[in-house]
């Protein structure tokens, strides 16, 4: 089996981390390979005269050829046995290590000798349930996680009730703690928390130890967790390593677990206060954090800040000249309402790009939309689900002159299903700041008619109108629950609702 590109990437990463001063054990954890494998890779690199950074233009094939000159480009299968299976098999009567080793060698032409097999099994068994007091070196690790509780606040502009997530970072040697409120635990907030934590600590640790959060770890596998590519790019930019904790292993992240509990007690002091923005929350958290870091710890006789100045700060790596601005990319198609959906929020683009495939570049603060490498729209990021961010210049001057879609067409279609469906479409259009923002909901009703039939759709719309549920989701929920088959209240005689900002249901008649 040919040596995979993944292994070549791990060799490159091992060389980079070794140049950064990490030990074999730390490199092994960061690259998710064995310590002896790290030793072998670095030894081969030294024999080949390769150091980090590698020569420009060195391809994967050239690197493999220089590291393994006496081996064919194709290599044996992975030699590592399934130690969990070995451990279970040894519990069976009559099964010995010798027998399991013989069965193991049948499955691989090149594998461990018996003595190596036994030694590696003893090592694996030793770390099954370690109970150790972790001794952290100065400047070595920054532990990161989110607090369990959230902090409620009210958006000053919209009046909407929201909940702020709290990002926590703690240094290993000094326990110096940083925390900040964020809109959510999404990737860009996770990345931004790391950047601001590094700036707060005025340096970078050799490694970052995150929990297996979905923001940073794509696959929380016990044996081989996969990092999010953006998270990996952050580590490379700051020249640090990411060492995810094992799944369901709180002992391996005791430092941040303690920091999170302490921060949660600080959050409890704010429970009776009312906030109207993230900035207000962070302004309230800052003095509490300063007090925490300045407070003398009884068992050590020094504060976190004193230990930070003595231990961690002198050992931290310098910050890059410019803070990184990480971005995530996504592909999307412009909908008929000339909006693009990203993270459940809708952003407008010029209407002439309707139905075009575009790329979305999102940072923590901005969302940019590109068509064929040309930026066609830029917005301030807003993570409010199912809301719209629309620039006036993106709206068409006349939908009739350019678009086939218009409110009258949707109303005419709805009338085929029945008067209640038509009334629902009219009210959806009238309830939006701009009627084109009701196009997608009307399309959803059309698809419900195809799926459930016009008769059931008409009954569901009648019932939704009776309870003033003017939305696609309301009609869909009625159909899914079968409530459309219940006797609906009379709605034809219901008075029309009027409001200064609504066009009224007869506007498109």
Residue 374 pLDDT grade (very low, low, confident, very high; cuts 50, 70, 90): very high
**Which residues, in sequence order, are bridge partners of residue 143?**
170, 209
CA atoms of 234 and 239, how far apart (whole Å): 8
**In 3-state terms, what secondary structure has residue 219?**
strand
Q: What interhelical angle do 187-201 and 229-237 show, nearest 10?
A: 20
Residue 27 pLDDT grade (very low, low, confident, very high; cuts 50, 70, 90): confident
Highest mean pLDDT among 123-137, 146-160, 405-419: 146-160
pTM of the model: 0.49
- Where along the chain do its domains lie? 5-126, 141-315, 328-399, 405-485
Rounded to an integer, the average pLDDT of 265-294 is 93
Whether pLDDT at 224 is above 60: no
Q: What is the pLDDT of residue 131?
A: 38
Q: What is the pLDDT of residue 402?
A: 41
Rounded to an integer, the average pLDDT of 66-73 is 62
Better-scored residue on pLDDT, 92 or 285 = 285
Better-scored residue on pLDDT, 410 or 326 = 410
Residue 295 pLDDT grade (very low, low, confident, very high; cuts 50, 70, 90): very high
Q: What is the pLDDT of residue 346?
A: 93
Residue 195 pLDDT grade (very low, low, confident, very high; cuts 50, 70, 90): very high
80 Cβ contact partners less than 8 Å away, ≥ 6 residues apart: 34
Inter-residue contact 358 to 376 (CB < 8 Å): yes
**In 3-state terms, what secondary structure has residue 295?**
coil
CA distances for 486 relative to 153, 296, 322, 456, 468, angstroms: 40, 67, 64, 11, 17
**Average pLDDT value for the chain:** 80
- % residues pLDDT > 90 (the chain): 28
Rounded to an integer, the average pLDDT of 103-123 is 76
Whether pLDDT at 271 is above 60: yes
Whether pLDDT at 497 is above 50: no
Poorest-pLDDT segment among 129-133, 280-284, 350-354, 475-479:
129-133
CATH number of the domain located at residue range(s) 141-315 in this protein: 3.30.420.10
């Amino acid at each position: 089996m040919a040596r995979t590109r993944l292994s070549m990437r791990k060799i490159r990463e091992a060389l980079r981390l070794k140049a950064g001063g990490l030990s074999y054990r730390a490199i092994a954890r960061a690259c998710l390979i064995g310590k002896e494998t790290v030793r072998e890779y670095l030894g081969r690199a030294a024999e080949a005269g390769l150091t980090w950074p590698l020569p420009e233009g060195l391809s994967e094939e050239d690197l493999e050829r220089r590291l393994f000159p006496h081996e064919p480009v194709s290599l044996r299968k992975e030699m590592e046995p399934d130690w969990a299976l070995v451990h279970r098999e040894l519990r069976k009567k009559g099964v010995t290590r010798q027998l399991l080793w013989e069965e193991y060698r049948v499955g691989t032409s090149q594998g461990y000798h018996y003595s190596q097999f036994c030694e590696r099994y003893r090592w694996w068994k030793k770390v099954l349930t370690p109970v150790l007091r972790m001794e952290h070196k100065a400047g070595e690790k920054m532990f990161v996680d989110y607090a369990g509780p959230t902090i409620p606040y009210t958006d000053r502009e919209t009046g909407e009730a929201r909940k702020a997530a709290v990002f926590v970072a703690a240094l290993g040697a000094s326990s110096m703690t940083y925390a900040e409120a964020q809109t959510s635990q999404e990737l860009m907030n996770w990345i931004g928390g790391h950047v601001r934590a590094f700036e707060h600590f005025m340096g970078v640790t050799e490694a970052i130890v995150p929990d297996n959060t979905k923001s940073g770890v794509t696959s929380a596998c016990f044996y081989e967790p996969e990092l999010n590519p953006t998270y990996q790019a952050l580590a490379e930019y700051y020249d640090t390593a990411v060492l995810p904790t094992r799944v369901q292993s709180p002992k391996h992240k005791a430092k941040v677990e303690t920091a999170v509990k302490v921060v949660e007690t600080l959050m409890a002091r704010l429970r009776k206060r009312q906030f109207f923005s993230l900035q207000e929350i962070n302004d309230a958290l800052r003095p509490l954090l300063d007090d925490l870091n300045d407070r003398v710890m009884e068992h050590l006789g020094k504060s976190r800040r004193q230990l930070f100045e003595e231990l961690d700060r002198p050992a931290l790596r310098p910050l890059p000249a410019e803070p990184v601005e990480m971005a995530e990319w996504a592909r999307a198609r412009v909908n008929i309402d000339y909006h693009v959906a990203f993270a459940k929020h809708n952003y407008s683009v010029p209407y002439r790009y309707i139905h075009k495939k575009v790329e979305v570049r999102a940072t923590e603060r901005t969302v940019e939309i590109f068509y064929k490498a040309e930026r066609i729209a830029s917005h301030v990021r807003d993570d409010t689900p199912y809301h719209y961010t629309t620039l006036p210049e993106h709206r068409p001057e006349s939908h009739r002159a350019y678009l086939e879609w218009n409110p009258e067409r949707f109303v005419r279609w709805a009338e085929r299903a029945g008067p209640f469906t038509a009334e629902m479409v009219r009210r959806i259009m009238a309830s939006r700041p701009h009627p084109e923002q009701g196009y997608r909901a009307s399309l959803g009703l059309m698809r419900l008619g195809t799926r459930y039939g016009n008769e059931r759709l008409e009954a569901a719309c009648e019932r939704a109108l009776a309870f003033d549920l003017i939305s696609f989701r309301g009609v869909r929920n009625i159909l899914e629950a079968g409530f459309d088959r219940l006797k609906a209240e009379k709605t034809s005689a219901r008075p029309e609702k009027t409001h200064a900002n609504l066009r009224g249901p007869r506007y498109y008649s």
